[in-house]
Structure 1
Amino acid sequence: MNIKEYVYVSLLTAVAVVMGIIENMFPPFFAFAPGAKIGLANLVMIIAIFTLNWRKVWVMEILRLLITALFTGFSVFLYSFAGGILSLLAMYLMKQFGPKLVSLIGISVVGGFFHNFGQLVVAAFLAKAASVMLYLPWLAFFGMLAGFAIGIGGNQLITRVKPIQELFIKESKQWT
């Protein structure tokens, strides 16, 4: 990576961290599903998935999770890490099907589901109670709904980010 690419990745990471911290300051969006949030930082991750290569996206995700943990605490980090990594892996696998089979919105919906699934696995492990997984249908529904909203936002933003990306990255490499 050259210096401009570092700046682009840093800008995206910083925006994702700030969005995540701001979102954590507000009460849950869905009052009847405690802990459910829209995941504004995932909007930036979707942009990264479609404007950066695989390695840079993973670096960005790890940095985002670690920096956000400094502000939100270690317990939140465990849930965020499991959800974020599982979600990113699922979105990567879905993106491999190509744009003819799956859209940016579809990729985001899958990411929303797996983010919540990863968090529940950690909760079940920490609580030593598999019954925590009974919460999956609720969280899956709201995760996919949030993923749909993030996907719509990502569709709107991706064309606007392209000119910015081209300023920083000489060859516009997609995440493949």
Structure 2
Amino acid sequence: MTDLTEVRSGRSPAPGSTDALRALADGHHARTVRALGCSEVARHAVKSYAIEAPGRTVTDQDAQAAVRIAADHLSSAYLRGSLGLAVLLVHAGGDGDYVLVHTWIEGYMSDLAVFTGPVGDVSRLRPGRSGLAPCVWEAAVLAHERDAFSRHVLDGDGALEERLDVWRGDVLEGEVR
């Protein structure tokens, strides 16, 4: 167990973590986010995004494959308490390709599925390992979506359909870090 005085003094409790953090900081860069629209997939309103590492592009084929993956995942989402709103991230990463399906569920909670695969081979996307969470770029988009959901759907004014229309239109585009 780590001595609490080590943590309070600012010393790193994990050996080697300084080098690992420095390497991450040195390699950190912006990634481009593009909104791909909102559509109905498996009885869910789904906002879709492309996230692109430098030199990578999310193609129409990639986006279509991601929608098929999302449709399969969302087909049973009501069993997990889905409220019918979801966000789809198609990430052409530096080290592989990723599809994330984020669904708003009952009790102010969400459900997240992460699919991973090798660069450029959408046919090999598979569910990620247990415990896998969004990377910093994916988390930036999901943070925007959390705010949009709270602001427009939960706290918005007007009829529910009007709130949902505003939510559909509130997208993040440009560079994220």
The TM-score normalised by the length of structure 2 is: 0.34
Higher helix share: 1
The TM-score normalised by the length of structure 1 is: 0.34
Q: Which has more radius of gyration?
A: 2
Which has the higher relative contact order, 1 or 2, with Cα contacts under 8 A spaced 6 or more apart?
1
Higher strand share: 2
